[in-house]
Structure 1
Amino acid sequence: MNIRNVRAFPVDLSRARKAEKTSLQRKGRQPAGPMDRYPEYRGRRGAAGPAWPSAACIVEADDGTFGLGLTQHSGPVLPIVNEHLRPLLTGQSVMATEKCYDLMVRASAAYGSQGATSYAISAVDLALWDLKGKLLGRPVYELLGGPQKDRIICYATGFDIAWYLELGFKAVKLPMPFGPDDGIDGLNRAVEMVEETRSAIGNDVELMLDCWMALDVEYAVRLGESLRPYRLKWLEDYLMPHDLDGFAAVRRRLPGQGLATGEHWYLAEPFLYAAEHRLVDIFQPDVKWCGGLSAAVRICHIAEAAGLTVAPHGAMNDPYGQHLVFAMPAARWGERSSGVSPPGVPLADMVELPGTAVIEDGCLVPSDAPGFGIESDRAWLDRVAV
């Protein structure tokens, strides 16, 4: 069975949700980000970002069966998929996911296989795996050799701590609202925030802190040292992703503190370098950004060989990450981000892809339906298309 067509188009998945996402603001302030050094953007994460909608990709087989992949940044993704990757993959075997992935990475090398191109590759790769599973009548996690675990232990990201505990989560992650440009006051307020949270959750719930590229080496070290009494499981994404020497410096200067990053690393190669140089303890690839499932599996194998763990970014938000974590031994945690759900709103009301498994009592078991188990038909695609 060969690939008949590949097509990418913009989508608005909020049209499929029953409830609105909760805000990640804390006391009127957005989480910190790399643009916070400029006053007009401080405390307004994402304000400088593009307004591109998300992107969906359909890969269709000769018999009309199709697989669905998703990613972000449709602005650059659509022309890469529709003008370059489509003719490259048309006529290739649906089952040849390794070849198709290699073709996309090599063919895009001249203009860069990482960054925006990696988002495009991710969408196509996920659609291919979905299609492959449908044609074989098996869930994707079985195609990867899973299941490796009987359930996925999940954590929630956001500020509605009491609600997360009520939902059964045994681990929570706070977005960091402050950075170097907030000075000592910001550092003190960050410590106060973590102290209040640890007091609220007790010592039987894990606690993490996501700094989303907002810090520098000195601030990250000062923050990590100040937070030692509160037993953070990990400090996350504290430097710009290209600052590999900075990651090495923080690793040297914060011994004993769990460190995590990787959602803005693309393809497997940065993770291999990080493993070889012991830059962090936990890898956090996003399966919809890093090059798709084919890249994410490589990253998990690198981590496993190096004795590291994987906590993929936003993995419990949709079936793609769910199937990856369910199959891979190195993947120990599943993140429910995107605001989780507003207090009092069931997690099921936040589902965007029909057929997505829902977290129950802090754990999740993915759908065992063929492919990623996404129950999308042409009518649903028409409804979310922009």
Structure 2
Amino acid sequence: MKISSVDVIQCNCLENPAFRPIICRINTDEGIYGYGEAAVAYGTGAPAAFGMIKDFATLIIGKDPMNIEAIWDTLMKTTFWGQGGGTIIFAGISAIDMALWDIKGKVFGVPIYKLLGGKTNSKLRTYASQLQLGWDKNLKIGWGQACEPGSAPERYAETAKIAISQGYDCIKIDFLNYNRQGFAHTHKQLTKPLTYEVMHLAEERLTAVREAVGNEVDIIIENHCGTDAVSAVQFGRLAEKFNIFYYEEPVTPLNPEMTKYVAERVKIPIAQGERIYGRWAYIPFLKDHSVQVIQPDIGNCGGITEAKKICDMAHAYDVSVQTHVCGSPIAKAAALQLETTLPNFLIHEHHVINMAPYITELGVYDYQPVNGYYTVPEVPGIGQELSQKALDNADIVTVK
């Protein structure tokens, strides 16, 4: 079997143009193909990932798709820029690697979790993610948009209750992102010492949500690296009394010492990872014990091959795993395949966008949690394909 061509695909979500999933489909001379995703669908960077996959594709034509490790090593070490790492390099590698695993699962007729060691988790606990945006499948998310449910603490509480009524016993909210008027706080407002107004608003929201959901529901604080080390400690100490499950991205991961600074001063487990790429970049966070939950995104950390290594390495440091999932149905399916194999799996992220029709219609299958739990798809490969509608509306370039 040989790789005969690679289709590089930008999915166009007509109802939300701000969301641009970048997919690759690797085709073989035996008619078996596989799908993978570069997880940079939102924010800026999608066109760069499209170009990165197109460039990488020229290096794998004619290769045996079953030699996944060798292809990964080639992309990393013989492309000059590969060993410099970064979002786009690793997103390109991730998409190709994921597609190769999809092919391998289809060749053997099994879901890829069986090739990764089998199940250690029969059910995957799942949390409702990004409730500051609302919890509605018809929500259209744009980068930097106004807060959908409103800025009042009562609206945060109401949204939390909706998610809990659907069976979730864990939720995640960014309590600092929006001001009282429902617009995003500026960078200057969330870095440097926080003002009384920002702290008071955050405490009001935390209080409202905790009272609404009770003590048996876990709350994750999302921070999107919006704070710096000083303000992250301020907010973290304020949040300690609310029994927070973990504190995500309190600071940028670019300087690992700042994550350590926060971890040493806040009595809440710290999570980092959706913007950390490759096993090497995780080493300082594991060695200094500054992170208790890692959040690798399989679509930008280096793919399934690399994510498994990162998670196994974290296991040696007693660090748990919650993969980051905010992409197309391709990325979600791949995450479920990996998570079911991990002894150190903690919880699965169910982003509000994963319910939106303009996202779910991109896949042949619509996998949704039941009473706050997922089970892994039993379909050969990663368990997902792009729908015909997705392909009909996509921009596609084929590399042969």
Which interval holds the TM-score relative to the shorter structure? 0.7 to 0.9
User: Within 2, Cα distance between the matches of 1:150 and 1:77?
Assistant: 34
Unaligned runs of 5+ in 1: 22-49
User: Cα–Cα, structure 1 residues 217 and 326, in superposed 2: closer, same or farther, change >3 Å?
Assistant: same
User: Cα–Cα, structure 1 residues 381 and 67, in superposed 2: closer, same or farther, change >3 Å?
Assistant: farther
Show the 5 A alignment for 1:1-386: 1-12=1-12, 14=13, 53-71=20-38, 72=40, 73-83=45-55, 85-110=56-81, 112-157=84-129, 158-159=131-132, 160-178=159-177, 179-180=190-191, 183-254=195-266, 256-314=267-325, 318-339=332-353, 341=355, 350=360, 352-376=362-386, 379-386=388-395
User: Within 1, Cα distance between the matches of 2:79 and 2:205?
Assistant: 44
Q: Deviations over 1:110-134 (max 9, x none)?
A: 3633221111111111111111111
Decide whether the 8 Å contact of 1:355 with 1:367 is kept in 2.
no
Instruction: Calculate the aligned-residue CA RMSD, in Å.
Output: 2.3
Decide whether the 8 Å contact of 2:128 with 2:352 is kept in 1.
no
Decide whether the 8 Å contact of 2:263 with 2:269 is kept in 1.
no
Q: Give, in angstroms, the shift of residue 349 of structure 1.
A: 8.7
Amino acid at match of 2:76: V
User: Within 1, Cα distance between the matches of 2:237 and 2:364?
Assistant: 44
Decide whether the 8 Å contact of 1:2 with 1:62 is kept in 2.
yes
TM-score normalized by the length of structure 1:
0.84
Q: Give, in angstroms, the shift of residue 382 of structure 1.
A: 2.4
User: Within 2, Cα distance between the matches of 1:340 and 1:65?
Assistant: 27
Decide whether the 8 Å contact of 2:363 with 2:390 is kept in 1.
no
TM-score normalized by the length of structure 2:
0.81
User: Within 2, Cα distance between the matches of 1:271 and 1:163?
Assistant: 36
Unaligned runs of 5+ in 2: 133-158, 178-189, 396-400
Decide whether the 8 Å contact of 1:356 with 1:367 is kept in 2.
no
Q: Deviations over 1:157-197 (max 9, x none)?
A: 11421221111011001023342376221121111111111
Amino acid at match of 2:384: I
Q: Give, in angstroms, the shift of residue 384 of structure 1.
A: 3.9
User: Within 1, Cα distance between the matches of 2:353 and 2:160?
Assistant: 11
User: Within 2, Cα distance between the matches of 1:385 and 1:189?
Assistant: 42
The size of the alignment, in residue pairs, is 346
Decide whether the 8 Å contact of 1:55 with 1:74 is kept in 2.
yes
User: Within 1, Cα distance between the matches of 2:113 and 2:361?
Assistant: 20
User: Within 1, Cα distance between the matches of 2:80 and 2:326?
Assistant: 27
User: Within 1, Cα distance between the matches of 2:213 and 2:47?
Assistant: 41
Q: Give, in angstroms, the shift of residue 229 of structure 1.
A: 1.1
Amino acid at match of 2:284: Y
Decide whether the 8 Å contact of 1:326 with 1:366 is kept in 2.
yes
Q: Give, in angstroms, the shift of residue 351 of structure 1.
A: 5.6
Q: Deviations over 1:17-59 (max 9, x none)?
A: xxx79xxxxxxxxxxxxxxxxxxxxxxxxxxxx9683211011
Q: Give, in angstroms, the shift of residue 253 of structure 1.
A: 1.4
User: Within 2, Cα distance between the matches of 1:309 and 1:242?
Assistant: 21
User: Within 2, Cα distance between the matches of 1:270 and 1:99?
Assistant: 21
Decide whether the 8 Å contact of 2:219 with 2:244 is kept in 1.
yes
SS for the counterpart of 1:56 is: strand
User: Within 2, Cα distance between the matches of 1:351 and 1:381?
Assistant: 7
User: Cα–Cα, structure 1 residues 74 and 315, in superposed 2: closer, same or farther, change >3 Å?
Assistant: closer
Q: Give, in angstroms, the shift of residue 381 of structure 1.
A: 4.8
Decide whether the 8 Å contact of 2:111 with 2:380 is kept in 1.
yes
Decide whether the 8 Å contact of 1:101 with 1:125 is kept in 2.
yes
User: Cα–Cα, structure 1 residues 305 and 66, in superposed 2: closer, same or farther, change >3 Å?
Assistant: same
User: Cα–Cα, structure 1 residues 122 and 161, in superposed 2: closer, same or farther, change >3 Å?
Assistant: same
User: Cα–Cα, structure 1 residues 55 and 348, in superposed 2: closer, same or farther, change >3 Å?
Assistant: closer
User: How high is the sequence identity, in percent, across the aligned residues?
Assistant: 23
Q: Give, in angstroms, the shift of residue 367 of structure 1.
A: 1.1
User: Within 1, Cα distance between the matches of 2:32 and 2:390?
Assistant: 14
Decide whether the 8 Å contact of 1:68 with 1:130 is kept in 2.
yes
User: Cα–Cα, structure 1 residues 315 and 307, in superposed 2: closer, same or farther, change >3 Å?
Assistant: farther
Amino acid at match of 1:292: G
Deviates more, 1:179-188 or 1:275-284: 179-188
Deviates more, 1:109-118 or 1:357-366: 109-118
